[in-house]
Structure 1
């Protein structure tokens, strides 16, 4: 018996030890030879890399009751979406873009709520304004889900706005974009036609099967698998619907894992949109896959700096810290919410 360590911290939401088989079909898109492919470096044509991420936070759960005595649930929440703008060739300093907090009053029921403006006693503390957003259902976690949905929508819009268009021709020599967006998590439905790459840090779904997955443990840093193709939501034969959108996917190794970690440590899955009903990989997607190993190895974090290394990229960690600062202290925000409610419905308290 061999014992291997899951490299992610135990307080992380989920580890990387279990893989659920993908129920649908996965096709070879680039080559039928299932072998490791080397990186080809980062061409000079690629001038900007933007790493996009978002961070949600619930700040208070609320119970609403109207004149008729009907109860419904709500919540104060916040989220931040932003980007790190960097040069892959190191010719300029990285910069943060668009990192600011949006605050949400998510509510259920038939209420018509106005924005909640929390004004502090000290004007230098700033005013917190929560914009109302309804959600359907009456679940306590509905408010959290609404904040998450708003964050993902803004994240998608930011990625699409920043990324270069991506031609979907098979042989276009100018298909490689000047601006490439790395988006934390899978790409979203409706992002096709832009140079957006989703990077999945934690592997939960097995898209490879027993005959292919062994290659992942053999990859050297910077090497990748051939590109595969699947359909989002495909549940296999016998299920109606047939999935939603098609994706290209491939795997890259960022570093060699220590001998005591499981063999998939240091492997990241990448994902891009695939055009419908074609049997080729567009030249732009091919070129991005070819440079992905060199790029991600350059951005990979180190274990002595980040417990989620190497998959939690250095720009991602910096962006997470900036987003946390933008939302402010959760303890102070909670006090402001209590003071606001007390001032509206009871005896005012000092914020």
Structure 2
């Protein structure tokens, strides 16, 4: 008999997985499935009895917003598009020993992304957009991706100021340029790529809360050790509540297993609930609060757009 499930994610956010019954878009990454458990013996894994949550968990995230699109008129008659963007990064320190959480740091930056060879910084009222030159023609559709690099650098900077010995750093999203950070895991809450063959995918969809998959290795330019786990509060659908976690490929398999087990006893403590968060349970409670705070710090988009318009007229 066919079973029907309703995704716990609100429909306005798409789905927590892509495709009809899970991620169907195949990944081009070369995957090794045997580092921890031979592929033929894959099974759900629970954390050993001696694994405990760290006393301090840091969760870092960033947000970005386009404040306005611009264009230049060069002396030779050519024109280049520009993107004025605000972005912010912050870190939440969760002291699990005391049961307390606090904002450990936050920082806002603004930049004008363009390939124009002549444009300089733009001052819009009390706000300055530092010019950030991009390579190539600077097509507007590609300028949005240019924000990610500076945002990642800001996340690295802000999380570095908050770290202490023995903590665990959770990055909301892939690690990208943060693979060198110690005791750090990337947290990917939306699944859109199929990394595993069907037989091993069945092990993932059979997970229950408190279980993870064996570790596999992704061999791309952003290669990593990776594993899946299921959070509590899922709807029961095959991919509901499934998240992918990753850590640096420079670690040994023993170190990766240690982080995988730590994630298994730590991340479920922060899972959100559907009546409070439309992206439950994957949108972790500290991350949701941090995102709200950071978006507030970006300022009023209408005032910034108006200031940009006036600045362009003056120029």
TM-score of the superposed pair, with normalisation by structure 2: 0.88
- Comparing 139-148 with 48-57, which one deviates more in the overlay? 139-148
1:152 equivalent in structure 2: 152
1:297 equivalent in structure 2: 268
**How far apart are the structure 1 equivalents of 2:113 and 2:286?**
30
2:253 equivalent in structure 1: 281
- The CA RMSD measured in Å over matched residues stands at 2.4
SS in 2 for 1:11: helix
1:21 equivalent in structure 2: 26
Deviations 1:194-236 (A, max 9, x none): 211001101112222111111223222121111112212xxxx
- Comparing 262-271 with 30-39, which one deviates more in the overlay? 30-39
SS in 1 for 2:218: strand
Deviations 1:292-317 (A, max 9, x none): 12211110011000010010000110
Say which structure is richer in helix: 2
On the 8 A contact 1:156/1:191 being kept in 2, the answer is: no
Residues 45-64 of structure 1 mapped to structure 2, 5 A cutoff: 46-64=54-72
Judging changes above 3 Å, is the alpha-carbon distance between structure 1 residues 307 and 157 closer, same or farther for their aligned structure 2 residues?
same
2:198 equivalent in structure 1: 210
Deviations 1:170-217 (A, max 9, x none): xxxxxxx61111001111146235211001101112222111111223
2:44 equivalent in structure 1: 36
Shift of 1:74: 1.0
Q: 5+ unaligned residues in a row in structure 2: which ranges? A: none
**How far apart are the structure 1 equivalents of 2:85 and 2:79?**
20
Q: How many residues align?
A: 306
Q: 5+ unaligned residues in a row in structure 1: which ranges? A: 120-126, 165-176, 233-243, 346-351
**How far apart are the structure 1 equivalents of 2:250 and 2:76?**
53
Task: Name which of 314, 317, 320 aligns with 2:285.
Answer: 314
For the pair shown, the structure with the greater C-alpha radius of gyration is 1
1:77 equivalent in structure 2: 85
2:179 equivalent in structure 1: 191
**How far apart are the structure 1 equivalents of 2:216 and 2:103?**
33
Shift of 1:318: 0.5
TM-score of the superposed pair, with normalisation by structure 1: 0.79
1:123 equivalent in structure 2: none
Judging changes above 3 Å, is the alpha-carbon distance between structure 1 residues 326 and 108 closer, same or farther for their aligned structure 2 residues?
same
Shift of 1:158: 4.1
- Correspondence 1:325 to 2:302: no
Task: Name which of 91, 95, 115 aligns with 2:102.
Answer: 95
On the 8 A contact 1:159/1:196 being kept in 2, the answer is: no
2:246 equivalent in structure 1: 271
SS in 2 for 1:132: strand
On the 8 A contact 1:6/1:16 being kept in 2, the answer is: no
